[in-house]
Amino acid sequence: MKNNLKDYILMNIKNNKTNLLIVLVLIIFQILVIVGASYYSSIKNFWNEFMSNSYEFDLVYIIEENLNNREALVKKLKENPHVKDVFQYDEFISFGTLKEFQDENKNGEIELFGTISGVKKIVLGKDIEKNFEMICPANFYPDSLIYNNNSNYNYKNSISLRDKLDQKLKMNFIGTMPIELKLVGIFDDNYDFSSPNVCYVSHDTLKQLNLKYQKDLEVQEMPIYILLDDIQNADVLLDYEEITEYTKMKEINREVGDKVIRITGISTLLFGLCIGLLIYFLFMRRVKNESRNIAILSLVGFSKKKIKKLYYFEIIILYVMSFVVALIISYFIAFHFVEWFLWNSPSLSLIKVVISKFAIFGCLIINILLLLISSKKSLSKIDELNISELIYE
């Protein structure tokens, strides 16, 4: 662009008050796009890593209403070379309270999950080796109220269990004497967690605890969990007469994750489209309102092609200006949005929001394309203007 025209465009930007509105609206929409795109890619990355690192998702579970002989089936399943392990419901999950963390405000409730050793990333201490050993996450929320989405809860309410390492913690089951579980390790909960106040013990430990303290657990009606060497081999389960249907845990969870990812992705695209539509309508309006000025430019020797070029450059300058401002604000919002809203939900607080270069670059390219397409459409109205009529209006 020639310097002279740059001067004209800058003067026009300065003189036109609707530009301020355009910039403001562009900033708002772009923040939504950048934050949306960042959340989209962050959630997607988080979920994919989460799914691939959590062995609990590689399980297959079966519920058969008329399962006559569960023990026989479990035994037979364990003989299959593709089946690495089989657990009943009572070996998988249990609830109790940790006396250590109980006070007036906290109920100290925790969940115990059964797991196998070698699947958690231990950051302090060691993995489970024996029964009645326990590993817990680095950020621990000793209160079940966190599930109630209480706004007072955020990551700051988590506590560190590091100083409890190698100590025996007393765990209560309802109406029973406490039993002791030794905290042997702290695992990285970033990509390896099921719920925020979950600790892990071996399946065998869980079974023993459940047998002793939760005798009314109706295990016969609960699912059987199967750990396969590869989730893709799940079809081997259909070789058993007793099993007519199975469900992959991954599929259930993927459905939820995919929905969230889809929603953020679609929202981002919609915001992008809004920018395009907005520019289209705002510039249509401008062309209409400024048709007299366009006629003046035409009189003094600007061709319609050149006039359109001026508008294009003006759009691009306005866009770049708003993009820079939006980017700065987006950085602030993207990180603090997590703190303000998502950290109230401990599971979502683990999402590491990164304003990825890809999201920014993608947003920039898509928006510029949308802008060019929509402005081309709106500025094509300039070709339709009858200058000789406008002069006399």
Partner 1 sequence: MKIKLENCNKTYIKNGIKNHVLKDLSYEFEPSTFYAIMGESGSGKSTLINILAGLLKFDTGNLKFNNKIYHGDVEFSKLRLRSIGLVYQSYLLNEQMTAIENVMLPLYLNNDLAKKEKILLSQEKLKIVGLSNKVEHFPKELSGGEQQRVAVARALINNPEIILADEPTGNLDIKNEKDIFEMLKKESIEGKCVIVVSHNPFIKKYADKLLILENGELYEK
Cβ(160)–Cβ(140) below 8 Å: yes
Choose which of 35, 128, 295, 360 interacts with partner 1 (CB under 8 A): 295
Of the pair 302, 337, the CB lying nearest partner 1 is at 302
Shortest distance in whole angstroms from residue 287 CB to partner 1: 15
H or E element at residue 251: helix 249-289
Tokens of 353: 């929001």
Only segment of 77-85, 162-170, 184-192, 295-303 that touches partner 1 (CB under 8 A) = 295-303
Greatest CA span in the chain, whole angstroms?
Answer: 97
Report the alpha-carbon distance of residue 63 to residue 252 in Å, rounded: 15
Output 7 or 180, the one with its CB closest to partner 1: 7
Least distance to partner 1, CB of residue 336, Å? 39
Footprint of partner 1 on residues 8-47 (CB under 8 A)? 8, 11, 15-16
Question: How far apart are the C-alpha atoms of 345 and 149, rounded to whole Å?
Answer: 6
Between 203 and 308, whose beta carbon lies closer to partner 1? 308
Give one DSSP letter per residue of 32-88, joined into a string.
Answer: HHHHHHHHHHHHHHHHHHHHHH-GGGGEEEE--TT-S-HHHHHHHHHHSTTEEEEEE
Give the binding range for partner 1 (CB under 8 A) out of 85-93, 142-150, 296-304, 368-376.
296-304
List for the chain the helix, strand, coil content (%; round to 5). 60, 15, 25
Rounded to the nearest whole angstrom, what is the least distance from the CB of residue 322 to partner 1 in the complex?
A: 21
Which region among 7-15, 48-56, 242-250, 348-356 touches partner 1 (by CB under 8 A)?
Answer: 7-15
Q: What distance in Å separates the CA atoms of residue 363 and residue 34, rounded to the nearest whole number?
A: 7
Told to check if 156 binds partner 1 by CB under 8 A, we report: no
Choose between 266 and 391: whose C-beta lies nearer to partner 1: 391
Burial status of residue 175 (CB atoms within 10 A of its CB: 0-12, 13-18, 19 or more): exposed
CB nearer to partner 1: pick between 11 and 21: 11
Taking the least distance from each CB to partner 1, the nearer of 18 and 160 is 18
Cβ atoms of residues 198 and 142 within 8 Å: no
SS3 136: strand
Q: Does 303 bind partner 1 (CB under 8 A)?
A: yes
Of 238 and 391, the one with the shorter C-beta distance to partner 1 is 391
**Which listed range, 3-11, 90-98, 354-362, 370-378, lies at the site for partner 1 (CB under 8 A)?**
3-11
CB of 317 to partner 1, least distance (A): 16
- Binding partner 1 (rule: CB under 8 A), the pick from 81, 305, 357, 384 is 305
Total Cβ atoms within 10 A of residue 115? 26
- Determine which residue in the list 75, 212, 285, 292 makes contact with partner 1, applying CB under 8 A: 292
- Assess 7 for contact with partner 1 (CB under 8 A): yes
- Does 306 engage in binding with partner 1 (CB under 8 A)? yes
**What are phi and psi for residue 294, nearest 5 degrees?**
-65, -40
Residue 384 is a binding residue for partner 1 (CB under 8 A):
no
Residue placing its CB nearer to partner 1 in the complex, 16 or 253: 16
Check binding of 80 to partner 1 (CB under 8 A).
Answer: no
In the chain, beta strands by DSSP E: 59-62, 83-88, 93-98, 109-115, 122-125, 133-137, 139-140, 159-160, 168-172, 179-187, 198-202, 224-228, 247-248
Q: What angle do CA 212, 201, 255 make, to 5 degrees?
A: 110
Q: Does 175 bind partner 1 (CB under 8 A)?
A: no
Judged by the rule CB under 8 A, the positions of this chain that interact with partner 1 are: 2-5, 7-8, 11, 15-16, 292-293, 295-306, 387-388, 391-392
